[in-house]
Each structure stands twice: as C-alpha cells, then as structure tokens.
Structure 1
C-alpha cells in the first residue's frame, strides 16, 4: 500500500514521541489524519504541525482502558470516512515498582488492557470492515519484550506477546480479503516514556528513525518488523539457549533498585 494512495489514517498514541513522529511523517495535502492520544495539549500541538503540512486533522482524547468506548470510537471514525491505514501505537511500558517482588495486580490489568485488549479489539473491528471493502492496512506496534520472559516486567512482556500472536493470527485470517496486517517489535526508542524506566537501553533508536522504519514496513506489507537488528539476534538467542541458562541470564539482566 503506497503512502501516496492513503487518504484516511488512524494513529493512536499520537501524543507520545513515536506516534507524533508517525503523524508528521504521514501529514500531507489531501490526507485526513485521525490522531488519538491521552494528553490533549500535546495532541493539539501535533495536530497543528500536521495541519501546517496540509493534512486535515481530527483529534480524539481517549482512555484505552475503556474498551467499549474505544470500539465505539473506531466505528464512529470509520463511519465518518473509511480508514485506509490504522497505526495502533498507543501503549504503556510500566515495569515492576522498586521494592516489589511482583507487579501490582491493577498494573498488570492496565497493561493488558492498553497493550493488548484495546488494540486487538480495535484491529478486529477495522479488519472486518476493511475485509468487506477488500482493502486496508493495520499496523500493531508491540515490543521486542514480547520475545523474552522478563521477571521485572511480566505484565508488559506478556501483553506484548499476546499482541504479537494476535496480530499474526489476524494477518492470516484477512490476507485473502485484501487486508494487510503488520506487527512491529521495536527495541528501545528514545522517548520521554522510555527514559522514565530504570535500567540500560542498549541499541536505542530515535523516534524519527523508528517512525521511518514502521512506515516502510507498512508500505511493504511486512508480516513482522523487528528493529534494530540486534533484537532479531537476541530473539534467536533466547530460543536456542537451554532453559536454565536463559533463566539465569534474564535474572541477571533485572535492573537493580535505585
């Protein structure tokens, strides 16, 4: 799906660093951008820059833990004008709090809703509608954390793993109907949210670079995009290691408390 052929694009998480970069990369005359985010002030700032580039922009402030509202909002947007590409970027990257042995149950529930349930439900709505139109693209932004059993981020890793499996299954179910589904599993991205987490961030990429890679993967219809390349190696390494060695390594990588 060529970028120039897209005329209505939904981007969730558009008030965050990565979502904002994606919005600006797609902004051009003749295109409608549907920008969703949690922070109204940042969302309006991104919208202003996109309008300056010639795009028509509609913004929506929404809490993705309200699944019914998220589904209704997707249906409303698509009824107003058929969405040709959906980039479901919104997510939360909370890890275990300092001093805790296990993450708080409410935190795990929130991670599951925002990182998996909401994007999966919205993707299902859009995939059904796009399949009826026999065209469209969906991009689910996950994380390389989906490949690893991170003891300090069980909710985060688990929610991203669920999104990865869902996305691949959805891809197979709608492929013959002209709908393309891409799952993106990036490593560390230099955003304000990411900088708030403890621990090292090896092979970190800038949001502009990450946005360009995601847009390229969407355009090519890539099944699963993993970047930067060391995370593809780490995924293979995790699979090949004996389980006892892998467990020791993952425990050793757990960030020390500040």
Structure 2
C-alpha cells in the first residue's frame, strides 16, 4: 500500500446477512482511525454487484449466508485483477482451514471484539496474510472457542480427521488434516518426521537419527522418525544447523 493510500485510509466493505452483526461491525470500523469509509451489504450477491463497480481495500465477510456464501465470494474475488484483502467474520471456527487456503488476511470469530478487529485491520495495512505472522488457529472446547498460537506448538499429531496440537499448557484438537498443516507451516520451521507427526524445529532438544529406531526429542518427548521421512529430516536439520553456524 502506498503512502498516499495510507494517508487516505482504508475503504471497507462489510458483508453479513444478520443486521445486528452488520451494525456492530460498521460501528467498530467507524471507531478505527485507519478506516476512511465503510459500506455494508446484507448478502454476498449484493456485495459482488457492488464490488464489480467499486473498489475496496478490504472485504469483511460472514461465511454462512443464504445463497452465495462468504467462501464462494472469496473464491470469486481471487479472480479480480486487483482483489481486495479478505477478512472472514464468522461464528464457526471449523471453516478456518478453507479461509486460509483462500489467502484470507485474518479470521475473526463472533462476537467480534474491538481490539481483535483492530489487529485484523493492522494486518491489512501491512499487506500481509495471517499466515505471515504468528498464526493463530481457532480451537473449540466445550462450546468455547479460543486461539492457539503457532509459536506455542511444539509438535502436532494426527488423530483421524483432527490434529492434536501439543503445547506447554494443553493439547487441543483442531479439525484439519496433518498434511494441510504441514503445507501451511513448513516455511515457519515445521517438518514432518512421521506420517502422523509434525514437529517444530525450534523446539527439538535432541536428534537420534542413527541406529534402527531414529527419533527426535521435542520438549522432553521422544518421537519416532519414519524411514520414509528420515532423508527429509536429515536435510532440514542440516540446513538449519548451517544457517545457525
């Protein structure tokens, strides 16, 4: 974003089929000094018509809407010559994987808190996606949604359609395949050591790659390294060691 664009402030389009949620977004956005202009739409179809004739810096999208969903609209926006940034605002945590696959800048859960919304607007201003920062994954436990920071994850293990995130405080489940997490976090220092285990290089205490049962020790836990993944593990840790030298 150019200096002149920053000085002018952001043009924002908020899309939600629930009027109270839309009114709250409009109110909170109006309190942000970085936002110059806020428009609202009650459906993704109406938003698409507006976007075809007007330019916005960012679109805040609900996901579950009648007809065209927020995910559908985000797919269309990716085909624009100059697509706006997309921030999803939803009551459902389980769409996070799809949202970030669409290069969403952020993923907010309702009810939206002002500071969290300001953080999302800050990411838009910086021109980066949520995956460029210390990504936070939404996890649900007993009906309560909270976020787990990527930097807190020591390793992740596959459990059916879920992944268990192992952190110093607890081990929550997130609904996504381990392969998807590997793809998104490989550039952030995570490596697959086993078909069911992904580890953070930064938290590996010890390598035991020789012998008949190669393992890595992560946060005091010994984890197996499969023969299939052993060459990749050796290469990644050799490269990491060379970079630190």
After TM superposition, the score normalised by the length of structure 1 is 0.36
Which structure carries more strand by proportion?
A: 2
Structure having the higher Rg: 2
Using CA pairs under 8 Å that are at least 6 residues apart, name the structure with larger relative contact order, 1 or 2.
1
Which structure carries more helix by proportion?
A: 1
